Structure 1
Amino acid sequence: MAWGLIREMGHVSIQTNDIEGSIFDATQLLGLRVTERTGNEVYLAANSVHHELAYVESEVNGIHSLGLIAQDGDALREIRKRVADENFKIVSETPVSLGVQDGFSFIGPEGWIFEVYSGMQNNDRGLLSFGPDRYGHINFHPRDVRSMMEFLRRIFDFRLSDVIGDDFAYFMRCNPDHHGIALIKGQGTFHHHAWQVQSIGDLAKLGDRLGAAGRELIWGPVRHGAGHNIAAYYVETSGAVVELYTDLEQIYDDERDPVIWGEDENWWNMWSNRRTEDFRTFGIPTVTELKTFI
Structure 2
Amino acid sequence: MSWGLISAMGHVSIQTTQLKESVFDATQLLGLRETERTSDAVYLAAANVHHELVYVESDVNGIDGFGLVAANGDALREIRRRVDAENFQILSEKPRGAGIEDGFSFIGPEGFVFEIYVGMQENQAAVQSFGPDRYGHFNFHPRDVGGMMRFLHRVLDFRLSDVIGDDFAYFMRCNPDHHGIALVRGEGTLHHHAWQTQSIADLGKLGDRLNKVGRELIWGPVRHGAGHNIAAYFVETSGAVVELYTDLEQIYDDSRPPVVWGEDENWYNMWSSYRPLDFRTFGLAPVDRKALSGLHR
Q: Residue deviations 1:101-141, cap 9 Å, x none?
A: 00000000000000000000000102132000000000000
In the alignment, the residues of structure 2 paired with residue 159 and residue 261 of structure 1 have an alpha-carbon distance, to the nearest angstrom, of 17
Q: Which moved more, 1:280-289 or 1:142-151?
A: 280-289
In the alignment, the residues of structure 2 paired with residue 179 and residue 138 of structure 1 have an alpha-carbon distance, to the nearest angstrom, of 9
TM-score of the aligned structures, taking structure 2 as reference length: 0.98
The answer for the alignment partner of 2:26 in structure 1 is: 26
C-alpha contact (below 8 Å) 1:112/1:288 kept by paired residues: no
The answer for the alignment partner of 2:285 in structure 1 is: 285
Instruction: Map 1:52-201 to 2 at 5 A.
Output: 52-201=52-201
The answer for the alignment partner of 2:245 in structure 1 is: 245
The answer for the alignment partner of 1:209 in structure 2 is: 209
In the alignment, structure 1 residue 37 sits paired with structure 2 residue 42: no
Q: Give 1:70 shift.
A: 0.3
Identity value in percent:
73
Please identify runs of 4+ aligned residues in structure 1 that moved more than 3 A: none
In the alignment, the residues of structure 2 paired with residue 214 and residue 159 of structure 1 have an alpha-carbon distance, to the nearest angstrom, of 40
| Counterpart residue identity of residue 31, structure 1 | G
Q: Give 1:290 shift.
A: 8.1
Q: Give 1:289 shift.
A: 7.0
**Unaligned segments of structure 2, at least 5 residues:** none
SS at match of 1:119: strand
In the alignment, the residues of structure 2 paired with residue 199 and residue 155 of structure 1 have an alpha-carbon distance, to the nearest angstrom, of 35
How many residues are aligned here?
A: 294
Q: Residue deviations 1:210-251, cap 9 Å, x none?
A: 000100000000000000000000000000000000000000
**Unaligned segments of structure 1, at least 5 residues:** none
In the alignment, structure 1 residue 2 sits paired with structure 2 residue 2: yes
The answer for the alignment partner of 1:11 in structure 2 is: 11
SS at match of 1:207: helix
TM-score of the aligned structures, taking structure 1 as reference length: 0.99
The answer for the alignment partner of 1:219 in structure 2 is: 219
Q: Give 1:97 shift.
A: 1.8
In the alignment, the residues of structure 2 paired with residue 231 and residue 84 of structure 1 have an alpha-carbon distance, to the nearest angstrom, of 38
The answer for the alignment partner of 1:231 in structure 2 is: 231
| Counterpart residue identity of residue 133, structure 1 | D
| Counterpart residue identity of residue 71, structure 2 | Q
| Counterpart residue identity of residue 75, structure 1 | A
The answer for the alignment partner of 1:274 in structure 2 is: 274
Q: What is the aligned-residue RMSD (CA, Å)?
A: 0.9
In the alignment, the residues of structure 2 paired with residue 289 and residue 78 of structure 1 have an alpha-carbon distance, to the nearest angstrom, of 25
